[in-house]
Amino acid sequence: RFDKAVIVVVDALRYDFAVPFEGGSGGKTRGQYHDQLGVLWETSVAEPARGFLRPFIADPPTTTLQRLKGLTTGSLPTLVEGGSNFAGTAIDEDNLIEQLNRAGKRIVHLGDDTWHALFPGSFDANLTRAYDSFNVWDLHTVDDGVTEHIFPLLEPEMRGQWDVIIGHYLGVDHAGHRYGPDHPAMGEKLREMDQVVGRMIDKLDDETLLVVLGDHGMDVKGDHGGESEDEVQAALWMYSKKGIFGRGNGIGLEPPRSAKERSVAQIDLVPTLALLLGLPIPFNNLGQPIEEAFVGAKGIDYGSLVEVGRLTAAQIQRYQGQYSEARKLDEDAASTTRPLWKAAIQQGQQVEATKKPSQGALKSAYDAFAAYQAENVRVCRHLWARFDILSMGMGIAVLVGSVALLAAYARAITGDRAAITPVLLGGGLAGLALGAAAGAAVGYLSSASIVQSTSFGAGLGGVIGISVGFWPARQELRIPYPRTFWGGLSFLTCLLLCIGFASNSFTIWEDEQLLFFLTTFGFLMLGSSLGQPDRDDRMLGTWNSVSFLAATRLASFSRLCREEQMPNCRSTYYASASSSTSAAWQLAIPIAIAIFLPSIIKYFFHRTKNYQGSAVIWIGIALRIGLFLVAGFWILDAADDGNWYPDLSKSLLKTTRVIIAQAVLALAFAAGYATYIFASPFLAVINEPAPTEALSSTSKSVDVDGGPSILTTINAKPTARPKLIILGYANTQGTRYLLLPLTWLLALLLLQKPMGQGTIALCFISILNLLEIVDANNLRRSALGPVVLALMGSYYYFKTGHQATLSSIQWESAFIPLSSVSYPWTPILVILNTFGAQILCAIAVPAIPLWKVKPTLPGLLDRVAGAVATHSLVYGGFAVATVIEAAWLRRHLMLYRIFMPRMLMSVAVLVIVEVVGVVGGMVGVRWSLGSVGEVFGWGE
């Protein structure tokens, strides 16, 4: 029906952005996004034969790459595909772009470069312009580029140069990510899109189809990736000056006011566009034609509907036949679709056999084909949610075995872990290699997947190899059950959390559960401290327990609510529930941190006389300067967001911020690590000379062999000697190592928004409190410290504006020190922002066994290894629990919304903590011990 098409993707175009606001409906108030993009609604009402507007429902995950795949192939995505959103590979399924190329159509692409990752080499090289898509702080570059190049192509003299134009605008999406939907920047971008579409209508000729669509919506904060209503509800508008569109079934001319009325699935666009452009329908399409595009201007052309329905249904039938054969599905899989197909074919044949079929007969035939298609989609959703139980069992077995070995290493060894570790590593690597070889052989000689068998063999071999490595030290092993009150409490807490992850409501409110457990630990540590016999220990433990409780409670006021918590939760992390920017008052937080945090840290060093040497330079000067630079960065960011200085260009503000951020990271990692590596222990040596007071003499009786005693004159006091006083001796090891977490602290604070900086600062203060509490109660060998740090890492994860959902990831953090996407730094920055609390707590773990111990105490590496392993064991337990529970609840309604994201988060955190704890912490400990050993020698 059309020779040409212009397809405009307005990324994150939520349906309510395109419909008029009805005051007071549903208790909603007017937002910045209301009534800004009116052209879609207005043309649909004023010219119903030329255009129509429909809610356009996306299948989760609502990430751009997965949505583009569905919009071009007509197939359904899977949750795990969400992970490929930032590393897309070419689509190897049949799709609209491939069909256009086969038909000899010239395709021009403008905008989001994700299209080129999916369809490399498919677009006209001379006219195509692709732009970086992930810089969410840039609202204008992509949109300006698309607009600049698309309108010249619509001029009459250029229409012979192309057949299909795809323009992908990103400004609305980026405005949502950066500011949230209810911000003036969103209104500005929507008005810009309104003008763009209006201009396109004016330029359009009769033979060109214009399509405007959103690939997904956005939640109240402007993020997406999940399956909430706001995230899946996009808009679709089709327009043609031919006047061939219509409304059937007595539907009014007015588009739906709500996305819950008369919605169409995004996969329905595929057969619709294919048929309108005269292309074959992509082979794996599951969508059905959109009724308005084929029912005719009068809304009665059911003959066309029957024809397009028959073509689409026949293609689906072919696909399902080959899919069933390839997957070796039994007859039951098609038990519900087969009779519908037969009924549809029968009614279609009756219509064809009738010379002038009635409208009722045509409508019945169309409804029969539509029913067949709908049932096919339902069946496919069920089939594609099938689970490979064997593979799941293999993965769970390896994970459980690995965590069991970690438990043995952390809590069962009574000897020196440092001595047995090389043996375990050697056994594990040997087992890994042998297991991989055995698995590959099994896969090669049998019908099993070689990748699956090799992976399982490697994992199982590694577990067996490490287990064999324990055999020589079997006399030094004991059953790792709790033997103290604190060990029992730590175990019980972790067990309750692991069990709780099987409940969707528990998982939804996990932050509140963690607050309860940390508060419980705080009060019990307070009680234990009050019971200490030594007055200094009693006062030290009590004061720090109170501080720990206060910091934990104060952090609880930072909150980012997930959709399932509404309306019983109020977000405070951003300026409002519908914003992604900080409130003006929150800018006081980084300023307060810059003023007070170095002084607080200095106090803990002063108590043990360790505020000496490099500690003065780093804490008193470098850290404070870095924190003021961090505060300056976020003030400039707020100035840019709020347009405080309209005379200054945004590029200047952005460049200044990037320079400041890079300076902070250089100070943290370059200067910080250099200081950490080369610093001497934080000591001061005072030479106290001997007193110069006058000497007095006295007499002493001296026995002489064989004769009477005689008297001799001696000094009344021993001769005074000079004294050598070492300030900082008591905590040499602890403070020397603590410089490493302090180095990371500066970088992690930069990458958090102001409210998150406040909670990270409170987290670090709580770490210092915990170190003092452990010392006052002499609990260095207990599981208390590492377990509480793990709970703190999880708790402060939520307090830094995150949830176990894709939509809570703060992608914009990747561009704090960068102007554009740069691998591998972009994903690393997002990881540091997302898991900053867990990283900080993991790096702090070695400080527990090192805090206030004798510098030459033997076995320190053993103690540190045990603490790090215990800390990792907590996250390992969470991973095992969430994996097993997700497998058990695989048919639960909330699997993909709650249990699966929490499982993925647990596994990701376990990997990150292992890397940080082993590579960062243990290597850092060796530097620290070496530095102290050079001064005091090594413990025997």
DSSP assignments along 598-611, one per residue: HHHHHHHHHHTT--
Query: Helix/strand/coil (H, E, C) string of 112-149?
Result: ECHHHHHCCCCCCCCCCEEECCCCCCCCCHHHHHHHHH
Pairing type for strands 723-727 and 684-688 reads: antiparallel
Which one, of 743, 749, 744, 750, lies nearest residue 662 by Cα? 750
Cβ contact 134:177 at 8 Å: no
Residue 164's H or E segment, with its range, is strand 164-169
Cβ burial, residue 80 (10 Å; 0-12/13-18/19+): exposed
Q: What are phi and psi of 881, to 5 degrees?
A: -60, -50
Q: Is the peptide bond before 567 cis (omega within 30 degrees of 0)?
A: yes
Which one, of 411, 387, 395, 381, lies nearest residue 882 by Cα? 395
In angstroms, the CA 278 to CA 1 distance is 7
Spell out a b/e string for 599-630, using b for 16 or more CB atoms within 10 Å of the CB, else e: eebbebbeebbbbbebbeebbbebbbbbbbbb
Convert the pLDDT of each residue in 77-108 to its tens digit.
Answer: 755 444 444 444 567 788 999 999 999 999 99
In angstroms, the CA 871 to CA 877 distance is 10
Sites in the chain below the pLDDT cut of 50: 80-88
Neighbours of 348 (CB within 10 A): 21
Phi-psi region of 35 (alpha: psi -120 to 50; beta: other; left: phi over 0): left
Residue 779's H or E segment, with its range, is none
Spell out a b/e string for 477-501, using b for 16 or more CB atoms within 10 Å of the CB, else e: beebeeeeebbebbbebbeebbebb
Cβ contact 366:348 at 8 Å: no
- Angle at Cα 934 formed by Cα 929 and Cα 935, nearest 5°? 105
Q: DSSP per residue over 678-729, as a string?
A: HPPPS-EEEEEPPP-PPP-EEEEEE--TTS--EEEEEESSPPP--EEEEETG
Cβ contact 885:927 at 8 Å: no
State both tokens at 566: 């509404």
In angstroms, the CA 111 to CA 167 distance is 6
Pairing type for strands 107-112 and 129-131 reads: parallel
Cβ contact 680:931 at 8 Å: yes
In angstroms, the CA 518 to CA 161 distance is 66
In angstroms, the CA 619 to CA 626 distance is 10
pTM of the entire predicted model: 0.84
C-alpha distances out from residue 802 to 84, 571, 753, 788, Å: 21, 11, 12, 20
In angstroms, the CA 313 to CA 317 distance is 6
In angstroms, the CA 352 to CA 855 distance is 94
Residue 866's H or E segment, with its range, is helix 860-888
State both tokens at 821: 């996407």
State both tokens at 898: 């709650």
In angstroms, the CA 573 to CA 559 distance is 5
What is the DSSP code (8-state) at residue 413? B
Phi-psi region of 222 (alpha: psi -120 to 50; beta: other; left: phi over 0): left
Cβ contact 186:201 at 8 Å: no
Supply the pLDDT for residue 87: 46
Torsion of CA 797, 568, 520, 787, to 10 degrees: -20
Supply the pLDDT for residue 111: 92
Three-class secondary structure of residue 750 per DSSP: helix
What is the DSSP code (8-state) at residue 263? -
60: amino acid identity, one letter: P
Convert the pLDDT of each residue in 543-564 to its tens digit.
Answer: 999 999 999 999 999 999 988 8
Q: At what angle do helices 836-844 and 784-799 cross, to 10 degrees?
A: 160
Torsion of CA 87, 93, 99, 105, to 10 degrees: 20
Which one, of 835, 614, 836, lies nearest residue 746 by Cα? 836
What distance lies between CA 295 and its chain's CA centroid? Answer: 45
Gap between the terminal Cα atoms of the chain: 88
Give the E-state strand segments of 190-293 in sequence order. 208-213, 233-239, 264-265
Supply the pLDDT for residue 892: 80
Pairing type for strands 107-112 and 164-169 reads: parallel
Give the E-state strand segments of 310-433 in sequence order. none
Number of separate helices (H) and strands (E) present in the chain: 33, 12
In angstroms, the CA 384 to CA 375 distance is 14
Three-class secondary structure of residue 927 per DSSP: helix
Q: What are phi and psi of 255, to 5 degrees?
A: -65, 160
State both tokens at 711: 């008297």
Spell out a b/e string for 838-870, using b for 16 or more CB atoms within 10 Å of the CB, else e: bbbbbbbbbbbbbbbbebbeeebbbbbbbbbbb
Spell out a b/e string for 86-104, using b for 16 or more CB atoms within 10 Å of the CB, else e: bebeebeebbbbbbbbeee
Cβ contact 217:231 at 8 Å: yes
Pairing type for strands 233-239 and 208-213 reads: antiparallel
Integer Rg of the chain from CA: 34
Residue 803's H or E segment, with its range, is none
State both tokens at 36: 């800004």
In angstroms, the CA 479 to CA 471 distance is 14
Q: What is the largest CA-CA distance in the chain?
A: 153
